[in-house]
Structures are given as C-alpha cells and as structure tokens.
Amino acid sequence: CTETRRGDRHAVHHHSPAQVSAARHDATFTFSAVFDAGASQEAVFEGSGMRQLVELAVEGFSCTVFAYGQTGSGKTYTLMGPLGQVPRCDAPGLLGLMQRSFSCLLEQSHGTGLALSASYLEIYNEQVRDLLSAGPPRALPLRWSKTRGFYVENQLSVDFESLEAVVELLLQGAGLWASWPWVRTEGPCGLQYPTATPLHALQLILPVGHCISLLAKPRGKRTHIPYRDSKLTRLLARSLGGSGVTLMVWEEVHGAGEAHGGEG
C-alpha cells in the first residue's frame, strides 16, 4: 500500500488475537478479534464471527454487519473484495464478507424451504435511496409498524437462488452507488466509489455509538434508547437491541481494530 512504500510506521501494534495498542500512547484496546495487514479474507470471515452471524440469521435473529473507518482503510475491500472479478470468481480467495456471507447463507438454507431475497439501500445526508429500483433515484420514506418495526416504504426486494444472481444484484447496486456527485475514489478494476467526508461519517456513526453505549449499560440504569435520532439507527434498531446481533468491523489505515490487507 501507499503507506508501506512511503516508509510510514505502524500507528498501532497488534499484540494478541484480541488486543492492539496505540504507538504514541500508553493505551491498549480490546476487540472481539484483531487482524493485521497480512490476514486473508477467509481469516477475517471465519475469525470475526461472520459464519455464526449467518447461522443466527437463518434461525430468525436480526443480524447486521457494518464497516467503519477513514478513507483508504480498506472498508470496501473487506466487505466486497475486488468487485470486477466477482462474477467470474477468478480469485475466490479475495471475495469479501458480503459474497462469503451470501455463499454461507445459501449453504445454510439449502433444503430448509427458506426463500432468500435481497435489497440494497444507501443512506446519505439522511436520505434513503434504493439502489436496485429502476428509474431515476429518489428518496424513500421510513415507516413504522408494530409487526415490522422501522422499514423503508416501497423498497424493492429481489429473490435469488444462487451466488451468481445475488452478486449481479450487488454489482448493479454498486453501479448506482458510484453515481453520487460527491468525492470519488477509484476502486478495483476502475470502478468509482463515492467517499463520504469525515464530517458526514461522524454524523452518521455518532447516533449509532450513542445507542450502543446506552444499550451496554445494565438494564436498571438504562435510559431511553434514541433509535429515532437518525434513519440509520432506526433501521438498525432490531439488530442493536432485542433479539438482534450486530458485528462492527473497525478499519484503520496500516492496521488497527479488525483492519487487514486491502486498500489501506
């Protein structure tokens, strides 16, 4: 990566399978799992608990995984791998968490009678857009119901029965995702990826962090959980609380959290 060629030093040091320390500060941080820059995509999938997350989803739990980190830290690579090679699966070792999750989901649901469907949304500046629907992009409203919780009205959901079919949907959505007119970075195979500004990323993640910190308190000391503070926290409400499971992949340039080799 650019930092290695430039001769930059590591910002953090990887001490154990679950701990890192800051290079310039006397502080140690513990995660569920930590991966250094040499970790493979398969190692991240198996070691982060993604397989267990898919198994829980098949059992009926509401499960979510999301990546957070600065620009160039490897989020897109971790989640999607080199998108241009995915349809042909020329490099299966490079497939990201999403493709591996799809494959695992198809295995787990085989013979169970479960119907699988996919949707693809993005949230930017508190606007929700469907990346699979035809026609010009438009903001969709969020609604609430007692049976469904928060949901996106008129969201398109597409059935799939194979890895190739759901990857085609992923590529279709990624193509619309690159159409946003803000800062763009070039990803694998020349695909253009929009990059949120640090301020926007902070505005997006702060409400999530606030909800998580309140949920982490003992039940007797919890106050109201502000799921309605943002559209993202509304959509994540069932995963963050109740019978849900959420996996957060924290990426850092040149290693930290669950960062590994990729764009960073």
Beta strand extents in 116-243 (DSSP E only): 117-118, 121-124, 127-130, 142-145, 149-152, 158-159, 184-186, 192-194
Q: Which residues are annotated as a binding site for ATP?
A: 69-76
Q: Which residues are annotated as a binding site?
A: 69-76
Q: Is the dihedral of CA 197, 72, 253, 6 positive or negative?
A: negative
Residue 137 sits at the vertex; the CA angle it makes with 73 and 64, to the nearest 5 degrees, is: 45
Q: Are strands 19-22 and 28-30 parallel, antiparallel or unpaired?
A: antiparallel
Q: Tell me if residue 257 falls in helix, strand or coil.
A: strand
Which position has the token pair 């990059």? 195
At what angle are helices 97-109 and 50-58 packed, to 10 degrees? 40
CA 146: distance to chain centroid?
A: 27
